[in-house]
Amino acid sequence: MKKISIDPVTRLEGHGRIDIFLNEAGDVANAYMVIPELRGFEKFAQGRRVEEMADITPRICGVCPEAHHMASTKACDAVFHIDPPPAAKKLRELFYSAFFVADHTVHFYILGGPDFVIGPDAPVAERNILGVIHKVGTEVGTKVIEARGKAMDIIGMLGGRKIHPTFALPGGVCKKLSEEERKQVEKTAREEIEFALFTLRLFKDVVLANKMYLDMILSAPFTMPTYYMGMVDANNKVNFYDGKIRVVDPDGKEFVRYDAAHYLDVVAEKVEPWTYLKFPYLKKIGWKGIVAGKDSGLYQATPLSRLNASDGMATPRAQEAYEEMYATLGGKPVHNLLATHWARLVELLYAAERLLELSTDPGITDPHVRNLPTEKPTEGVGVVEAPRGTLTHHYVTDERGIVTKANLVVGTTNNYGPISLAVKQVAQAVIQKGQDITEGMLNRVEMAFRLFDPCFGCATHTLPGTMPLEIRIHDEAGNLKEVLSRNL
């Protein structure tokens, strides 16, 4: 059996490789998304004061520290049995909406964009952000830099710094919003709405107008019916910061709707010895392997999943974009994986609109931004929607508030099973016996994981099994004398 490795895979956060195995006839027998890195933050948490977790866990990732900061703080609220005042909740969501604008902009233009703006078969040297700017124009590149920069300015203003913020605290936040700052956020929000609308137009003009890419979106290898997970408000509309977690089945019917504290009643994790990353699945369905469909416990937690799991968007222009996407693709739910990029842009618009709603809320400048904890700390769960999917932080403490146990289920962990299956499906479709294997073929395989916007640095925390290892022993002349291997 022949093995092809894509190592490392590119344009993602963290490190991973794809191993593709060909049978004797030259067809793909199997493919694996292998995650060879270990971070161990759940172990690092033990013995620390729980209120430190909101400063520690953002260090998991420099791309989405805001997500870990917010999930951790919400978990600490629960640990201390404290409810933040209204102004604090609004400021947290305002901060988080700015983060979504910045993060979705990065993925669309820098990580995912080169595949469908430049094309999967373009030379590697051109398939990057510079190639995107060259194709769509330097004025677009300027818009992207400005839009992301202004969103990050809001994060820096509230968070004290733009990366690894120190903003939210158990029971509230550490900074109120002045009227002058509120006006600046409102101005930025209006600009971000225009940028999101511009990006949706660009997507239609450059991507949907390209028959090759449209055919790829609709193709069988990039189609995967699964269960879908996402946070919704009381009206089943998408919300990133607060709400209940809703899961729908491949037909779009509600499977379960649960509070954050009950996540362990819904989700379990499967361990495999060949990777550091675990495979979550729905407990009620059970682990059926890396397969799709209604009988499989696998679920997706992505921008497209959030839209599939919801009944719409809570802001007007995003709702229009939502309706247009589903009308174009034939109704809900959509199982076309590459439509995740489109859904990401619908969310970009929603985040910008929500930023405007919050910045014009009369209560956003209320100086009362924290309720001090008074109860004995115990146990708590905090959940937000990270751009990559549902993010859960769960802390158990002793009576002094020292963490005795921590569990983190991050967006990419939720998606590991679907990512692995998508890689296999696409590999089997593009690699055929008798064909020369080109870089373009392998890049299409990479597109199957890249659409999930994975963050493997976030996702790998505990040691589930034994990793593959190969040791090559050479003599003093450099001659290979022996090869020792394990789990290869």
Helix axes 340-359, 316-329, angle to 10 degrees: 170
Query: Is 375 annotated in some ligand binding site?
Result: no
**What order do you get walking across the sheet with 389-397 strand by strand?**
379-386, 389-397, 403-409
Partners of 391 in beta bridges: 384
What count of other Cβ atoms lies within 10 Å of the Cβ of residue 293? 13
Structure tokens at 32: 């694996």
For CA atoms 225, 103, 346, 259, the dihedral sign is: positive
Looking at this protein, which amino acid is placed at residue 229? M
Question: What is the radius of gyration, based on Cα positions, of the chain?
Answer: 23
Distance CA 463, CA 100 (A): 30
Query: Is 42 annotated in some ligand binding site?
Result: yes
Q: What's 265's DSSP letter?
A: H
Distance CA 345, CA 423 (A): 23
CB contact at 8 A, 5 and 20: yes
Query: Is 76 annotated in some ligand binding site?
Result: no
CB contact at 8 A, 97 and 370: no
Strand 389-397, strand 480-486: pairing: unpaired
DSSP alpha helix (H) spans, 128-174: 129-136, 138-159
Structure tokens at 117: 């703006």
Query: Is 399 annotated in some ligand binding site?
Result: no
For CA atoms 227, 230, 236, 237, the dihedral sign is: negative
Phi and psi at residue 237, to the nearest 5°: -95, 150
Q: What's 171's DSSP letter?
A: T
What count of other Cβ atoms lies within 10 Å of the Cβ of residue 464? 19
Residue length of the chain: 488
Name the residue among 316, 339, 338 with its Cα closest to residue 327.
339
Query: Is 174 annotated in some ligand binding site?
Result: no
Where is the binding site for Fe cation, in residues?
Answer: 64, 458
Where is the binding site for Mg(2+), in residues?
Answer: 42, 408, 461
Where is the binding site, in residues?
Answer: 42, 61, 64, 408, 455, 458, 461
Where is the binding site for Ni(2+), in residues?
Answer: 61, 64, 455
